[in-house]
Amino acid sequence: MTRIELYDTTLRDGMQGEGMSLSASEKVRVAHRLDELGIDLIEAGFPSSNPKELELFHRLSRETFAHAEIAAFGMTRRRDVTADADPALRVLADGFAPVCTLVGKTWGLHLEKVVRVGREENLAMIAESVAFLVAQGKRVVYDSEHFFDGFADDPDYALRCLRAAAGAGAETVVCCDTNGGTLPHVLGAAMAQVVAALHGSDARVGIHTHDDAGCGVANALAAVLAGATHVQGTVNGYGERCGNANLISIIPNLQLKLGHECLTDDQLTSLTPAANYVAELLNVTPDPDSPYVGRNAFAHKGGMHVAGVTVDPATFEHLDPALVGNRRELLISELSGKGTVLARAREAGIDLDDAAAARVVERVKELEHRGYHYEAADGSFELLLRKETGDYSPLFTLEHWRVIVEMGPQGHVESEATIKIWARGERYVRTAEGNGPVNALDRALREAIGDIHPDLAAIQLQNFKVRLLDGQGGTGSITRVLIDSTDGGRVWGSIGVSENVIESSWQALVDSLEHGMQLRSAERPAGVASGAP
């Protein structure tokens, strides 16, 4: 099958989404991760737009990439200015980036109300800008902005815009669904005409779609089916309004579903880690429901589903999650049967017989009736399994804890926690201040047993969520606290439920630390203790 050229615009188009921001050094890290993934072209940004972009291009000029090439973004020349005299085009021509991406107008509405130039002048702006950069030794990608709106309005003129770029030497001409409102059957039909119209030229045909109608990925695939061989998008679909087409979904669809060559098999298995890496740099929680790479993409909850995938994964999975670097999740809830519990126990290396599994099922039902929710609390559930089998050793025995929160005369709120616990036959009393009551409890606990359990230092809270289970109770409602924790590699969830939010938090915090210590203990060679010598 045809090899598809992958073009990532996360560093420019993706940053136009609300709340999206990366420093120049962080963008360099993203570029290297995209290079490792196997992306062909990385659009780094608009070097003439601001000092931050200039700094990025200066940094990138000193970097070495194994595969990817850097593309600099810009616009066609301004009206009434020759291409060689346009300052922005000069920046592109003088820059290190071997590829320059130019965006130009296609739609008559924009010509009349935005740039206010005639149709022939617009064609000249396209052709002269492309030709100037080609003459400067640059390879040019031409983005035909609002192509599908322009094609619907005047198909002949829209195709003339593409031919102007191709005729001037553009390596690739890209049809952009800038407003994101075109449906796949309309886009596919238009792309078929584009491919036919450019047949015989040296230009590759590309596609750039947005997700305003929820069709960004589908439209990119429709374009490839019509003959496009260059696909643009962003990691996780980040971008303005509803986002850009999600490359993380497009890539496995192209390679695993349509049979096109995009990445090596090893690169494809890094898809999930790459998607999560960019999300973490942006301080965005990865979407658990994201196709292919989300935590729930291969999650099974119903007992019949779990029984099916246990016998043959193909019964309820469209492909092996390992192909994209993901893994199967068996969710525990009141809908789970004994088979789900046994499967989860096997995953955790816990020896659980049928009778114990049946008891766990009943216990889960009882706890979920009280407000527990184990689908997102895998750490707490594994502790429940260990308690049922007797394979459980608490980090400590609680005697007492107390939290004081008070406001000082300057309006500063102070939190102080005191804990009294027993560990290894010794009594520990510690008091600590913190940024809120939960942080104070966490600090006091770590100060108490940090010396005998040094691995606790590697375990950090990553996310903290509080939910009222009965909103009608107002401030007296039962609260559920979910904590996500990490040791720098793995992430796990823990849960606490109480009418007191601090008690809920304490339960979740303790489960989080105990499960993290169980994981690290399992990795330690036999005979090596977890405590300090």
Check: CB of residue 288 under 8 Å from CB of residue 307.
no
The structural domain count of the chain equals 3
Rounded CA separation 72/57 (Å): 8
Q: Are residues 46 and 147 in the same domain?
A: yes
Q: What integer pLDDT is reported at residue 374 of this predicted model?
A: 77
Looking at residue 527, its pLDDT comes to: 47
Q: Are strands 397-407 and 99-104 parallel, antiparallel or unpaired?
A: unpaired
- The crossing angle, in degrees rounded to 10, of helices 119-135 and 87-94 is 30
- 212, part of any domain: yes
pLDDT range class, residue 491, cuts 50, 70, 90: confident
The verdict on residue 233 lying in a domain is yes
Clarify whether residues 215 and 314 are in a common domain.
Answer: no
**Domain boundary, last residue among 237, 263, 289:** 263
**Does the residue 320 lie in any domain?**
yes
Distance CA 241, CA 180 (A): 10
Asked, for residue 508, whether it belongs to a domain, the answer is no
Shared domain check, 315 and 169: no
Residues 146 and 130 in one domain: yes
Mean pLDDT computed over 364-388: 81
Give me the CATH number covering residue 406. Answer: 3.30.160
Over 80: is that where the pLDDT of 146 sits? yes
Global pTM exceeds 0.85: no
376 part of a folded domain: yes
318 and 170 inside one domain: no
Does any domain span residue 279? Answer: no
- Over pLDDT 70: what percentage of the chain? 92
Q: Identify how many contiguous H helices and E strands the chain contains and give both numbers.
A: 18, 16
Q: Answer yes or no: do 142 and 166 share one domain.
A: yes
Residue 377: alpha-carbon gap to chain centroid:
21
Whether residue 109 is found in the same domain as residue 236: yes
Q: Quick: pLDDT tens for 464-484.
A: 888 887 656 566 678 889 999
Could you report how far apart the first and last alpha carbons of the chain are, in Å? 60
What residues contact 387, with CB distance under 8 A and at least 6 apart? none
Instruction: Check whether 1 has a pLDDT greater than 80.
Output: no
Contact at 8 Å (CB) between 379 and 492? yes
Looking at residue 529, its pLDDT comes to 47
Query: Do residues 168 and 201 share a domain?
Result: yes
- Is it the case that residue 303 has pLDDT exceeding 80? no
The CA–CA distances, whole Å, from 481 to 24, 484, 501, 504, 529 equal 36, 10, 8, 6, 32
pLDDT class for 533, splitting at 50, 70, 90? very low
Residue 173 · residue 198 · CB < 8 Å: yes
User: Of the ranges 98-102, 154-158, 300-304, which one carries the lowest mean pLDDT score?
Assistant: 300-304
Shared domain check, 72 and 199: yes
Q: What is the pLDDT of residue 526?
A: 47
Q: What is the predicted pLDDT for the residue at 432?
A: 96
pLDDT at res. 478: 86
The residue range of the domain holding 426 is 396-452
At a CB cut-off of 8 Å and minimum separation 6, what does 94 contact? none
What are 225-261's pLDDT values in tens digits? 999 999 999 999 999 999 999 999 999 999 999 999 9
Of 263, 288, 314, the one marking the end of a domain is 263
**Within-domain flag for 367:** yes
Is residue 240 domain-resident?
A: yes
Among the listed residues 148, 219, 160, 228, the one whose alpha carbon sits nearest the alpha carbon of residue 190: 148
**CB atoms near residue 439 (< 10 Å):** 18
Query: Does 211 share its domain with 354?
Result: no
pLDDT in tens, 387-437: 888 778 888 999 999 999 998 777 889 999 999 999 999 999 999 999 999
Are 228 and 91 within one domain?
A: yes
pLDDT score, position 481: 92
**Per-residue confidence (pLDDT) for residue 343, from 0 to 100:** 74
Whole-number mean pLDDT of the chain?
89
Of 241, 263, 285, which residue is a domain's last? 263
Q: How confident is the model at residue 317 (pLDDT cuts 50, 70, 90)?
A: confident
What average pLDDT does the segment 34-59 reach?
Answer: 90
Residue-wise pLDDT tens digits, 157-204:
999 999 999 999 999 999 999 999 999 999 999 999 999 999 989 999
Task: Identify the CATH number of the domain in which residue 186 sits.
Answer: 3.20.20.70
Note whether 246 and 307 are same-domain residues: no
Cα separation, 117 vs 115, whole angstroms? 6
What stretches of 7-63 show up as alpha helix (H) in DSSP?
24-37, 51-60
Contacts of 64 (CB under 8 A, 6+ apart): none
